[in-house]
Structure 1
Amino acid sequence: MDTNNRKKATIVTLCLLLVFSLFAVVPKAEAATVKLKVTANALNVRNAPTTSKSRVLFSIKKNTVVTKLAKKGSWYKVKYKNQTGWASATYLKVVKQTLQPLSNTTKVILSKTNDLNIRKSNTTSSKIVGKMQKGESATYKAKKGDWVQISKGSITGWVNAAYVTVSTKPSMTAAAANYYFAVTANSLSVRAEPYADSKLLTYVKKNESLLISRIASNGWIEVTYKTGKKGWVLSKYGKQQKKEPITNSVTIVVPEQTTYYYITEPTGLTMRNSYSVNAKSLGQTIPFETKVQILKQASNGWIYVKYNDVEGWINGSTYYGFASIENISYTSSIPSKTSYFVMKADTLNIRSLPSTVAPTLGKASKGNYFKILRISSNNWVQVQYNSKQKGWISANTSSSTITTKKPTTSVSNPLKGSLTGLKIVVDAGHGKQDSGAVGNGVYEKTLNLYAAQAVRDAIQSVGGTVSMTRNSDNEFLTLDQRSFYAAKVGANAFISVHHNSGPAAASGYESYYTSSAKVSSYNFAKIINDEITKAIKDEYPNYNIRKANNSALKDKSLQVTRVNSVVSILLELGFVSNKDDVKLVNTDDFRETVAEGVVNGLLIYFGRNK
């Protein structure tokens, strides 16, 4: 072979080797996709890897994730959506792919109760090495008889199997970028871990849009429900959508006809510069009983109004007032002489304003009388409906009369008997930083306090002494402190007041005692429950009583009833997640009905119903 031929052969061989080597690296380049996150507030993407001889194609916002296609010097070629270009590597950070699928065979346990003891060995006499709270999880290791061995952090020990649930730990995958979960349920639980028995963190409402972080193989989705806060929701109660859905935005509309909002909140309502409780105050409060015209309405319940030449937003919830196309106008004056409104027959509604379109606060029946506070120009009288609330009753019927002589009849039918010498603890559940359940414009903690105060007033009206675990929203006791409060104050009984939450259709009253408690409370709880049930059915025959085995009283291991030193009961008066329940339980009339049932039950149990 001559020299020229050898040169040609060598060149061909080198070319073939180069081609083969190029094909060899292609799979490696395609095997891993590198993601980059933008660290600048706005990053320009150019048509070439230089700032001097290129033009800007588009810009990307901070924290946006793009795909790396290539690198040249201090520049990355990136892909964002369907666009590609060059961006400075100085403002791009490699995103670490840290999520790894978990073994489908790994099991976890979740505690069904608070202060569950973790013991060194599988016996009740063994040393306690730790505790678990309700909804907390740990790794399942083994089971022996009625005991489960678990691992939690640095602790390995045993827990009683009766107080835990065992679940298979799901595998996890990272969610695609910019995917959101649009809530379709009226109220959806957010939990600390992807299990139904995990700790409840909060509730989210219908149409809320939540950024998705991870997806679990058991049907749960990790979402961001508040800035910096993540939790898990069930995927079947929402839709996964690319980009944030339009349903997350608040829609503003102008009423089709003139509509007024009448404020019934005694402290008035603060005007703000936007439709949120977190919006800036405008320094103007609209007083109690004021009428304002609704200029605009937001889909989240806030309304735009004008008062004292100031325009702004107020919370238009039915909890703080009511809307009506009726223009209620009246003047009122204080009677020149002390006068009384006496019911001679039938029943009349007590309303928040002197009009039949105003919401009902309660009822006045035959034999009731009230001192008149004001008389309106349309012949209604304002009375002190209860110790905390005023209301209006129509004087335009033959069912009543007005007199300057104080009647001898009582305002309400007196309860027979006395609780003098007995001390009762009334526990208003949750409080302060712990709102409890949230739904339909109300916080459970607020409903609990109002209902507990009604129970307190009713007990005191028959001579009983009441110790409240809290008297305002500025106080809070832990479950431990509530559990031992009765012993601390030397009480004879303990009543915890709560309101429930669940699916939108869930409704009604129920109560709980604990059969395994230190003190047997069944007889006490049954009597209290039965009397509350009777009182509710008498006044509200259509209200749901959530019965199991023909009783609304159920056995459940709750800390405040399980470790209490006295007879105890926990009441669930209604569901904040149910619109109709909230309308009823958020009235003084309903609270006083429940309070009457409580007092009747106490009189019967302690033998004072004579």
Structure 2
Amino acid sequence: MILTILFFPSSEFLPKKINNYVEASIYLESMYVNIKTEAYTSRSTKSKRVMVIPEGVPVDRIEKKTSWSLVRYNGKTGWVPSRNLVAITKIEVLDTKQTVTMYASRSTKGKVITKIPINKQVSRLEVNKSWSNVQYGSKKGWVATSKLNLRYTKETFAPRQYKLKETASLQSTYTSSGKKIISIPKGSIVKSAEKYNQWFKVTYNNKTGWIQAKYLQSYKSPLKVAQSIYGSNYIITSHNGDLMITDEILHTVALFDDGLIIEYGTREEYNKAAKLITTLHGGSSSELSEYMWSALWGYSYTYGKYRISPSSSSYETVVVFW
């Protein structure tokens, strides 16, 4: 399999697939699906369908034949079109600070493979304590990490969502001197599947460019998190980012930007509400659930960033702020 390397100054460097390993003599590659994909028992859409793989989730590719790939997802395997897969990769390129000796093992007593001149670029494959396994041209071996300077890191990964901490510029390239494409407002949600050093490649309003990591924070969609926790037995509605979660006997949870209200909840529903909160904002769901369930009228409780208090003497409603 031939992989194309972007941004490399020379074609002599090859990228490393991360999380590749041998398991029962099967070669696995970390990938993600770029579109909702059906998997089949054989390399034909006329064969039996094994499963449907959601868009954006990681999978392991076990084998590739012509235009089809055998993948593993959630313990199941099936064949999918290779065009629906994107490799998860990590490429580290470093410069030698001085002439460096490459060894066959992590020891200066190991067999010498070659000498790498000063100011040459190598591709790092692995780090083990004070040693780096690198590739220089067609040669691979171990060198002292202290004799290398990181030039850049390039990664591709399964799509993730981020929220802007403040208004920031979307740049045409991964440098501050790049052309400004557009300003992205604070609080906007963007998606990325590629990173170059401390720059993320994102798309906003159908415009694609690069934004610095310092402006981004991880974001999980409250609606998707709620759907995964509550399942199909609850009605979940969303309006301007606020959620209303109800069941058939009117147990209710309302989720806002800065708080949650739970009414007429059972202990299990308090557990679910606490899991919803902590999945989005951090902390222990079991500890938060205990505070919520045990809260006494007239008192306010603090757990980490959370403030918990019942809002009526009947204990039918509890409010959590953050």
TM (normalized to structure 2)? 0.36
Structure having the larger proportion of residues in strand: 2
The higher-RCO structure (CA 8 Å, 6+ apart) is 2
Q: Quick check: which has more Rg, 1 or 2? A: 1
